[in-house]
Amino acid sequence: MIVALIIACEVGFWVLLAAGLGLRYLAKMPRLGAAVLLCEPLMELILLIVTTIDLKNGAEPDWKHGLAALYIGYTVAFGHYTVKWLDGHAAHRLAGGPKPAGAGYGKARAVHEWKLWARTVLGAAVALVLLQAAIWYVGDAGDISSLRAWQAGALRVVGIHALVAVAYTVWPSKAPADAEEDRRSPVESR
């Protein structure tokens, strides 16, 4: 049941996102679209409540409970970022808004990657807290090895993402040659 709920939350996230953006930009109802987008955190709250009830009713803690904690952590850290990113693209494509800025190259890209890493740290911290709460809740009565394994996994993800950010810092990406020409003024290109 937990896995089905996680899948339903993920599908619900994208359905609410599409509905909210559609209402904002296609139906020209920005307030209603914003209200729909604000409903998204309710799904994670429902997932948290159902997971807690499942454990309270004596379910053995396993990978499904750990996955639920990581999913909630990821959504807390990256949910708003994803909505904002897609909102910027929808405003550009559907409402004639300015083209959203990309991650960039060089130092700007490295800074972007470190900001994403900070979000990963936040998501992992939320997941670690939820997993630790579940471990304390279950206590010595059940096998908590699966929950401990998810904690270790969350820390590994933080470490791997840090390596990605370090790589962009040490070996900064360079703008393609055609992008350099586009940035020069018409006078410079003559």
Structural domain contains residue 161: yes
**Any domain includes 188:** no
Domain that holds residue 131: 2-175
pLDDT at 185: 41
Q: What are 45-102's pLDDT values in tens digits? A: 999 999 988 888 888 888 899 999 999 999 999 999 999 999 999 999 998 999 998 8
As a whole-number percent, the residues of the chain with pLDDT over 90 amount to: 62
Asked whether residue 103 is assigned to any structural domain, the reply reads yes
Query: Does 186 reside within a domain?
Result: no
**Is 182 part of a structural domain of the chain?**
no
pLDDT for res 69: 93
Q: Is residue 184 in some structural domain?
A: no
Phi, psi at residue 161, to the nearest 5°?
-65, -35
Total domains in the chain come to 1
Instruction: Please check whether residue 180 lies inside any domain of the structure.
Output: no
Q: What is the mean pLDDT of the chain?
A: 89
Containing H/E element for 149? helix 145-170
Four-residue CA torsion sign, 162, 167, 169, 170: positive
- Please write the tens of the pLDDT for every residue from 121-146: 999 999 999 999 999 988 877 788 99
pLDDT at residue 187 is higher than 50: no
Residue 167 included in any domain: yes
Torsion, Cα of 20, 26, 31, 37 (10° steps): 10
pLDDT of residue 180: 53
In 3D, which of 100, 75, 113, 103 has the Cα closest to residue 175? 103
